[in-house]
């Protein structure tokens, strides 16, 4: 029998076959309804079945579906670059097909930047422990995600990582704010050890997603990071694949720390799942040496700047703009956070509620012991049984023993639908408490 899914299902022994989606709901072929409280993989930012987006893809397809980027440009890709420039201030976009590729591209451009400036020794990439930048080898080399790295140790790089800004489990045993951001200052120590003359860039996610469950750094953190990078002549890459395109209440999450990175990776919400597309965005400072040098970015994929995907992303971003969806995120965030705080008060295993905008995380601790991936899988499975989709995240300072989920519904979810998220989460936690107790009490 042929298979398209060569992985073990997260839940049970088969994949439900999805039939269609409408708004924040998905329906499988057996008629089961799922409330998509995590937008798939924090991707379907506008929910499912948006007619105007689908129509834009159809319209573009009837003109031309594919051109090869080294032969032609195309209008949707150019319009998308112009739109991203207007919203983010980055004048240069390089389109790829996935978040992993956007990160790979960002890293390659950082390396090329220094080569074109006659500094080829600046080639090391620093990153952060408890981070996920993608599954391809370069992006995985930069990822401090032990579970996703372990099988490929022989191939991926052991790139230096600094400790995460994980205040509730501070790796230094300190407390914010008296810690004086020891975690950010560790970057300086690392740079001194390796030598800034050998380092191209530092990469981090504004909010730690898959590797931490919406771990959110304190408000002064990124200005300290940016200052350290600037003083040491190191490029700062922000991986906004999960946080970008409005997810946290601003177009880019780093805006909320008052910071601009030198290179930004976006993906996921950029096309809200309507077509595969992602991008690396660059400042003039990054691109000038390349434009005045070889004038070519040594990267690219067959489907880079694909007209269909570009049309989908453009339609998504224009809709987010015209419907003022990002402006509505903060009040929905406060509303959802209050509901999650209620759950924390009711269920003792909910240890922390955190995150920004509609990227919120719950970290769990069952009976005072860190519970790990098994507990996370049990939460996700209980969610499915109760008709709600939840995104599993690693957590705990070792990236293995902790347990967390991400709640990240489509940005256009209504408050009434958020009440339904609460209702289904509550019944999920009731199921969980009962099952987990039955299995572990003896």
Enumerate the β-bridge partners of residue 305: none
Give burial (CB, 10 Å; 0-12/13-18/19+) of 318: middle
3-state secondary structure of 404: strand
Inter-residue long-range contacts of 341-346, CB under 8 Å, 24+ positions, other chains counted:
342/422, 343/422, 343/425, 343/426, 343/429, 346/426, 346/429
Provide, rounded to whole angstroms, the least separation between the CB of residue 430 and ligand PMP.
29
Nearer to ligand PMP, 100 or 351 (CB): 100
> Could you tell me which residues come within 8 angstroms of residue 230 by beta carbon, excluding any fewer than 6 positions away?
236
With CB atoms as reference, the residue minimizing the distance to ligand PMP is: 99
Provide, rounded to whole angstroms, the least separation between the CB of residue 231 and ligand PMP.
26
Q: Which string of b and e fits 7-25 if b means at least 16 CB within 10 Å?
A: eeeebeeeebeeeebebbb
Nearer to ligand PMP, 210 or 413 (CB): 210
Provide, rounded to whole angstroms, the least separation between the CB of residue 277 and ligand PMP.
10
Nearer to ligand PMP, 235 or 339 (CB): 235
Give burial (CB, 10 Å; 0-12/13-18/19+) of 47: buried
**What is the contact surface with ligand PMP in residues (CB under 6 A)?**
41, 98-100, 103, 132-134, 205, 209-210, 239, 241-242, 267
Provide, rounded to whole angstroms, the least separation between the CB of residue 263 and ligand PMP.
13
- Residue 398 · residue 438 · CB < 8 Å: no
3-state secondary structure of 239: strand
Provide, rounded to whole angstroms, the least separation between the CB of residue 84 and ligand PMP.
17
Provide, rounded to whole angstroms, the least separation between the CB of residue 136 and ligand PMP.
7
Nearer to ligand PMP, 113 or 247 (CB): 247
CA–chain centroid gap for 77, Å, is 23
Nearer to ligand PMP, 215 or 339 (CB): 215
Provide, rounded to whole angstroms, the least separation between the CB of residue 421 and ligand PMP.
21
Number of C-beta neighbours around residue 283 at 10 A: 18
> Could you tell me which residues come within 8 angstroms of residue 125 by beta carbon, excluding any fewer than 6 positions away?
107, 110, 141, 142, 159, 199, 200, 201, 202, 203
- Residue 341 · residue 314 · CB < 8 Å: no
Nearer to ligand PMP, 90 or 391 (CB): 391
Provide, rounded to whole angstroms, the least separation between the CB of residue 151 and ligand PMP.
17
- In terms of phi and psi (left: phi > 0; alpha: psi -120 to 50; beta: otherwise), the region of 264 is beta
């Amino acid at each position: 029998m042929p298979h398209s899914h060569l992985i073990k299902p997260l839940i049970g022994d088969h994949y439900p076959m999805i039939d269609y989606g409408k708004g924040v709901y998905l329906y499988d072929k057996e008629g089961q309804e799922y409330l998509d409280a995590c937008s798939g993989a924090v991707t379907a930012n506008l929910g499912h079945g948006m007619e105007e987006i689908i129509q834009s893809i159809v319209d573009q397809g009837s003109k031309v579906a594919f051109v090869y980027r080294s032969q032609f440009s195309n209008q949707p890709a150019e319009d998308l670059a112009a739109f991203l420039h207007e919203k983010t201030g980055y004048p240069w976009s390089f389109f790829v097909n996935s978040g992993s590729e956007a990160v790979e591209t960002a890293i390659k451009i950082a390396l090329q930047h220094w080569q074109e400036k006659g500094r080829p020794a600046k080639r090391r990439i620093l990153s952060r422990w408890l981070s996920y930048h993608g599954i391809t080898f370069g992006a995985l080399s930069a990822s401090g995600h032990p579970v996703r790295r372990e099988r490929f140790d022989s191939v991926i790089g052991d790139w230096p990582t600094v400790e995460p800004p994980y205040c509730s489990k501070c790796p230094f045993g300190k407390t914010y704010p008296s810690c004086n951001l020891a975690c950010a200052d560790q970057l300086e120590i690392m740079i001194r050890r390796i030598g800034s003359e050998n380092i191209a860039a530092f990469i981090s996610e504004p909010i730690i997603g898959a590797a931490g469950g919406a771990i959110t750094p304190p408000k002064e953190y990124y200005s300290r990071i940016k200052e350290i990078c600037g003083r040491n002549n190191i490029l700062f890459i922000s991986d906004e694949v999960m946080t970008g395109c409005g997810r946290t209440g601003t177009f880019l999450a780093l805006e909320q720390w008052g910071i601009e990175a030198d290179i930004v990776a976006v993906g996921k919400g950029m096309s809200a799942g309507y077509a595969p597309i992602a991008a690396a965005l660059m400042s003039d400072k990054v691109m000038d040496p390349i434009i005045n040098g070889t004038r070519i970015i040594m990267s690219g994929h067959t489907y880079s700047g694909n007209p269909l995907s570009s049309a989908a992303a453009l339609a998504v971003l224009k809709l987010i703009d015209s419907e003022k969806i990002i402006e509505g995120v903060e009040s929905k965030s406060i509303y959802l956070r209050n509901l999650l705080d209620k759950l924390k008060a009711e269920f003792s295993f909910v240890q922390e509620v955190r995150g920004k905008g509609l990227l919120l995380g719950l970290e769990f601790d069952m009976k005072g012991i860190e519970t790990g991936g098994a507990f996370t899988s049990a939460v996700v499975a209980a969610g499915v049984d109760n008709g709600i989709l939840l995104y599993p995240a690693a957590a705990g300072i070792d990236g293995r023993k902790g347990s967390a989920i991400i709640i990240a519904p489509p940005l256009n979810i209504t408050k009434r639908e958020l009440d339904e998220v609460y209702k289904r989460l509550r019944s999920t936690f009731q199921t969980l408490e009962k099952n987990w107790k039955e299995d572990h009490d003896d």
